Amino acid sequence: MKQAKIIVYEDNEQDLITRYSCLTERPDRYDVHIRHPLKPIMPTSAQAGEWNPKKFSKHGFNPDNFQEGYWLREGETADVYFLDGLGGYCFTLLEEGLPRDRTFIYSGDDNIIDQARREGYNVVDDSVDKIVATILLKDLFTVDQKDLRRTMREIEAKNRRRLTHISRKLKKI
């Protein structure tokens, strides 16, 4: 099974742990990447300052997958994106090109959730691991129509050849 790439945009260390550490329990399935600001708004330790990705390894997060800033690298994509409300900045990120059907807003701010629903964005109404599983299942069963038609033509051509071969053998009998 392919490892799903998940990008989480989060500015709160505690929210990162409580909301997304369930995804790190299956590193064989989920490759979790974190986008964060220079300074967390609610650090998990008395050491208020910059993010320290190494301290999240005890919660299963790979320190190498932390990136300061909310941009995507050139050509980078993910299977699923989770966006904190980020004080409303989540809408800017969506407008800048995050895929609407694969992006879910997860905010404790009711105003942001209400706006997201009004504007037709996905919001987290279930556990994040169930959301990821649902997206991956959809991908598994989504078939490109052109590929499907080509495959059907190939099957039909193969069956015609088999029937021709069988017909010739029967004529010899």
Q: Is domain 4-141 given the CATH code 2.30.29 in the classification?
A: no
Q: Are the beta carbons of 107 and 93 closer than 8 angstroms?
A: no
pTM of this structure: 0.77
Model pLDDT for residues 135-162, shown as the tens digit of each residue: 888 877 766 666 667 777 878 888 788 8
Model pLDDT for residues 62-113, shown as the tens digit of each residue: 999 999 888 877 788 999 999 999 999 999 999 988 999 999 999 999 999 9
- Segments of 70-125 assigned E as strands: 80-83, 103-105, 122-123
